[in-house]
A and B are shown apart, each in its own frame.
Chain A
């Protein structure tokens, strides 16, 4: 990945010219749908008012609250023309709030500055002239990249990566740039726009705003229609289908279907409009890190949600500044590259797509996709049918995530250590296990034996195409592998997760070990430890 491929032009460079038209298109479509009858029109407005009242009542005094209450009380008495005007206004407000912006000058600037910023995070001591090339070694993009490039020229691409960290969108943006791909538009939480610097870049790089506080159908429909319109017009898009960062660090297995269904909706609309390139391609990708900066807060969230009263929060005295300093100081000593693995592309029905953009069934036959959506020979939307197709797409994405997970050193070692603790205390449930005293230790020889056995299993799974092995896991000796993981475990988190003491490894932070461990659950690896209980 030393030479950057020739850039593919992207529709996103036209976003600003099309902006007003996009809003008009979205509003017109949703208006036609919701104003089809007086009842559905009233329902749309009433649901909005009701939901906003419920949301704002719990907040402090809010001037909008009175407005919504007034509307809620008087809606039924208003004449039709006024209700139509209200609906139109609500739709416009929602669309304008969501729609993104793209400034090519900011993009130009960002692509020159971003590598430095990212490189600073990924490997701060390298501030010499070869900075960007060192960054491209830090972020390894592998898998079906050539196909992705070809499909981006042929049709519209939806990239659906796993989501671990707030760094993800930046890392993906950089990887796409490096591959000569144009920037992808994506929905970013509105809360991220409050940061001045972040907001400046997102506001000018095609990100659109998603306000997660708004719960009413009108808003969500406008959001979905905006995404549909973008895809129809050829804007490559990025969705994180897990609906937020993975709290447990397990690879996403349940996906949000709402936005994902917009791919199929756009495809059907393209067919109806007889577009020359109606195809929508869905490309799953996994992001594989050695270290996730937010690991501690994420696993805390997860355990509180799952454990409720059984989860007892330990006193956490984190010294933020010192941690970052330690991180920066130690990071340069290690090879900390992360891997973006692009999976085989899919169509909106979840079939795999070959390198020529042709959908294939499981026996390799070419598929005429149009047949899935035709009703008496004409392409049509059918809500129930299309929801089911989208569920099948989600299942294919989940399968792709599992098969394209790259096993890094840290999850493997964390898996071995946590499973050892579990097998050693079979009578404890998860929440009791997390409170084990921090003098729990296992002999190195035992840990090595477990890791050898896990690697053997992982190799067998990888041979069947069920998972991918990272460079470390493939090449390093067991000792070096453990050594590397322990170093990474010691460099950023509040406490080192595990320490080598003499000829034993002491488990210090089981909670965060659990987080890294979880990446490898669901592969049946636990059985590899079954006979290792004698410690």
Chain B
């Protein structure tokens, strides 16, 4: 079931995933778009751009050909940025059939279409055995062998089994569930909350505020998730609150940084050009806020972050607005309840 494994996307997380699989005894191909980078990795056993200090397992072989990566692979991990997945999958689709297992580790929604990554894979390939890998997994901590855990979610048990077999080790636990929607949304939506947490931190607020944002943020994530067909309990797992905590507590998180620096008075353009890449949460905020407004889903924290990012609201006003959450229009006159997700 797992003979032949490829990882598509040689960023830091993709490289680590390939390394873990190789370490577990499986030869693995790592697809990188840039042929020079692939050659350099094979020569030096290092990913110079993303993980220069980390030595990669010899069973890992880099390639710059998608066809080469697909041939002989039964299981493929897709680890490219959310906006690139569609084109990569379309090309890859010519080399895949219904026997292939696809697991993506992408935390984002497709801009413009509001589609989840598993939906994009379904549209661009004939594959059905599709899953998602998500959880509180800061790549560098996993690389350093700190005890961590992740989730592989799929409607197909054999996808969960394959993901578990390939990835699990003493330091890295793998949990399975069948809620693909909830698992994908947890990983995507937490980035919005991380920006909010950064904003609060930048304004000098303490842990009470952060806990408030996190808890109510989770409620908001669940509300949207249930609307889209997710199971509520998924959000209380590793890919939900687990990932939310890791991202919001880590001052190194790019999304947290965006919020923090905005609160300190920097402009969004300056911050993103500084970070050398757009934090995924900025794009997600736009996609989600627009969708929530269209579908009339009550998401005050997301709306507040959106106002700061795209409508020029000051962090203080927005945060004040989003903490003074007013009333959920759907609840009408019912008393506000802490755990209400309607």
Taking beta carbons and an 8 Å cutoff, which residues of A are in contact with B? 349, 351, 361-363, 365, 367-369, 371-372, 374, 382, 384-385, 388-389, 391-392
B93 contacts the other chain (CB 8 A) = yes
Q: Is there contact, CB below 8 Å, between B157 and A384?
A: yes
> In the assembly, what is the distance between CA of A388 and CA of B155, in Å?
7
| Docked-complex contact B158 and A365, CB < 8 angstroms | no
Q: Which of B70-117 touch A at CB < 8 Å?
A: 90, 93-94, 97-99
Find residues 114-146 in chain B having any chain A CB closer than 8 Å to their own CB. Answer: 122-126, 128
- Alpha-carbon gap, A349 to B99, bound state (A): 13
Query: Which listed residue (B99, B126, B156, B157) contacts A361, Cβ 8 A?
Result: B126
What is the CB-to-nearest-CB distance from B75 to chain A, in angstroms, rounded to a whole number? 14
In the bound assembly, the distance between CA atoms of A382 and B157 in angstroms comes to: 10
Point out the residue from A368, A385, A389 that lies within 8 Å of B158, measured CB to CB: A385
The complex places the Cα of A388 from the Cα of B159 at a distance, in Å, of 12
Partner pick for B99 among A362, A374, A392, CB 8 A cutoff:
A374
Asked, given contacts A372-B99, A392-B128, whether A363 binds B90 with beta carbons under 8 Å apart, the answer is: yes
- Bound complex: CA A391 to CA B155 (Å): 10
Task: Assess the B156–A371 pair: CB atoms within 8 A.
Answer: no
A351 to chain B, nearest CB (A): 8
Check A372/B157 contact, CB under 8 A, given A361-B125, A392-B128: no
Decide if B98 touches A363 in the complex (CB within 8 Å). no
* CA gap between A367 and B122 in the complex, in Å: 13
Q: Is the CB of A365 within 8 A of B94?
A: yes
| Smallest CB gap from B99: residue in A | A371
* Partner of A372 from B123, B128, B155 at Cβ < 8 Å: B128
Given the known A-B contacts A374-B99, A385-B158, are A362 and B128 also in contact in the complex, defined by CB atoms under 8 Å?
no
Q: Is the CB of A367 within 8 A of B97?
A: yes
Complex Cα gap A509–B97 (Å): 54
Chain B residues with CB under 8 Å of A389's CB are 128
Decide: B128 and A367 in contact? CB cutoff 8 A. Answer: no
Complex Cα gap A369–B126 (Å): 10
**A367 and chain B: residue at smallest CB distance:** B126
Further pairs besides A363-B90, A365-B126, A384-B157: 4, Cβ < 8 Å: A349-B98, A351-B126, A371-B99, A382-B158
- Asked whether, in the complex, the Cβ of A362 is within 8 Å of the Cβ of B98, the reply is no
Q: How far is it, in angstroms, between the C-alpha of A365 and the C-alpha of B123 when the chains are bound?
A: 11
List B contacts of A365 (CB < 8 A): 93-94, 126
CA distance A369 to B90 in the complex (A): 19
Q: How far is the CA of A477 from the CA of B314 in the complex (A)?
A: 54
Shortest beta-carbon contacts, A-B, top 10: A372-B98, A371-B98, A361-B126, A371-B97, A371-B99, A367-B126, A388-B155, A384-B157, A362-B123, A368-B97
Contacts between the two chains (Cβ within 8 Å), count: 41
- CB pair B93–A363 under 8 Å, yes or no, is yes
Are B122 and A362 neighbours in the complex by a CB distance under 8 Å?
Answer: yes
Q: List 10 A-B contacts (CB under 8 A).
A: A361-B126, A363-B93, A363-B124, A365-B126, A367-B97, A371-B98, A384-B156, A385-B156, A389-B128, A392-B128
Residues from chain A with Cβ under 8 Å of B128 in the complex? 349, 372, 388-389, 392
Known contacts A389-B128, A392-B128; A361 and B93 CB within 8 A of each other: yes
Contact, CB under 8 Å: A388 / B156: yes
**Chain A: CB-nearest residue to B154:** A388
Which residue of B98, B99, B123, B158 has the most chain A CB atoms within 10 A of its CB atom? B98
Measured in the bound complex, the distance between the Cα atoms of B98 and A369 in whole Å is 7
- Shortest CB-to-CB span from A140 to chain B, Å, is 34
- Fill in one digit per residue for B288-309: 1 if any A CB lies within 8 Å of its CB, else 0: 0000000000000000000000
Q: Contacts of B123 on A, CB cut-off 8 Å? A: 362-363
- The residue of chain B having its C-beta at the shortest distance from the C-beta of A366 within the complex is B126
- When distances are taken between beta carbons in the complex, the residues of chain B under 8 Å from A367 are 97-98, 126
Collect the chain B residues with CB atoms within 8 Å of residue A388's CB: 128, 155-156
On whether the beta carbons of B94 and A368 are closer than 8 Å, the reply is no
B90, B124, B126, most chain A CB atoms within 10 A: B126
Chain A residues within an 8 Å CB radius of B126: 351, 361, 365, 367
CA A362 to CA B120, docked complex, whole Å: 11
CA distance A388 to B93 in the complex (A): 21
Q: Are A362 and B155 in contact (CB under 8 A)?
A: no
Question: Would B90 and A368 count as touching, CB distance under 8 A?
Answer: no
Q: Which residues of B contact A392 (CB under 8 A)?
A: 128
Q: Min CB distance, B118 to chain A, in Å?
A: 12
Q: How far is B208's CA from A110's CA once the two chains are assembled, in angstroms?
A: 78
Expressed in whole angstroms, the minimum distance between the Cβ of A393 and any Cβ of chain B is 11
Taking a contact as CB atoms under 8 Å apart, the answer to whether B156 and A362 are in contact is: no
What is the chain B residue whose CB lies nearest that of A376? Answer: B1
Q: How many angstroms from the CA of A382 to the CA of B98 in the assembled complex?
A: 15
Given A349-B128, A362-B123, A392-B128: A385 touches B97 (CB 8 Å cut-off): no
Cβ contacts B154-177/A at 8 Å (1 or 0 each): 011110000000000000000000
Chain B contacts for A391, CB-based, 8 A: 155
**Contact pattern, B 36-74, Cβ under 8 Å of A = 1, otherwise 0:** 000000000000000000000000000000000000000
Tell me the minimal C-beta distance from B268 to chain A in angstroms: 33
Give A305 to B115 CA distance when docked, in angstroms.
Answer: 35
Note all chain B residues with C-beta closer than 8 A to A371: 97-99
Residues in A with CB closer than 8 Å to B122 are 362
Chain B residues whose C-beta falls within 8 Å of the C-beta of A351 in the assembled complex = 126
Residues on B with beta carbons closer than 8 Å to the beta carbon of A385 = 156-158
Smallest CB gap from B90: residue in A: A363
Tell me which residues across on chain A come within 8 A of B158, comparing CB atoms: 382, 385
Q: Give chain B nearest CB distance to A107 CB in angstroms.
A: 39
Given contacts A384-B156, A385-B156, A385-B157, contact A362 B124 (CB under 8 A): yes
Bound together, the chains give a CA A389 to CA B94 distance in angstroms of 22
Question: A372 contacts which chain B residues (CB < 8 A)?
Answer: 98-99, 128
> CA of A391 to CA of B156 in the docked complex: distance in angstroms?
12
Residues in B with CB closer than 8 Å to A374 are 99
Q: Is the CB of A368 within 8 A of B156?
A: no
A387 CB to nearest chain B CB (Å): 9
CB distance from B86 to the nearest CB of A (A): 11
With both beta carbons as reference points, the residue of chain A lying nearest to B158 in the complex is identified as A385
Q: What's the Cα separation between A363 and B157 when bound, in Å?
A: 26
Q: Is the CB of A368 within 8 A of B157?
A: no
Min CB distance A226 to B, Å, is 28
What residues of chain A lie closer than 8 Å to B98, measured between beta carbons?
349, 367-369, 371-372
Q: How far, in angstroms, from A389 to B125 measured CA to CA in the complex?
A: 16
Question: Which A residues lie within 8 Å of B124 (CB)?
Answer: 362-363
Chain A positions within 8 Å of B99 at CB level: 371-372, 374
Q: How far is the CA of A363 from the CA of B123 in the complex (A)?
A: 7
Q: Which residues of B contact A361 (CB under 8 A)?
A: 93, 125-126
Task: Tell me the bound Cα distance from A369 to B125 in angstroms.
Answer: 13
CA–CA, A371 and B74, complex, Å? 12
Smallest CB separation, A261 vs chain B (Å):
15
**Smallest distance from the beta carbon of A358 to chain B beta carbons, Å?**
12
Q: How far is the CB of A74 from chain B (nearest CB, A)?
A: 39
Q: Write the nearest CB–CB distance from B110 to chain A, whole angstroms.
A: 15
B176 to chain A, nearest CB (A): 12
CB distance from B76 to the nearest CB of A (A): 15
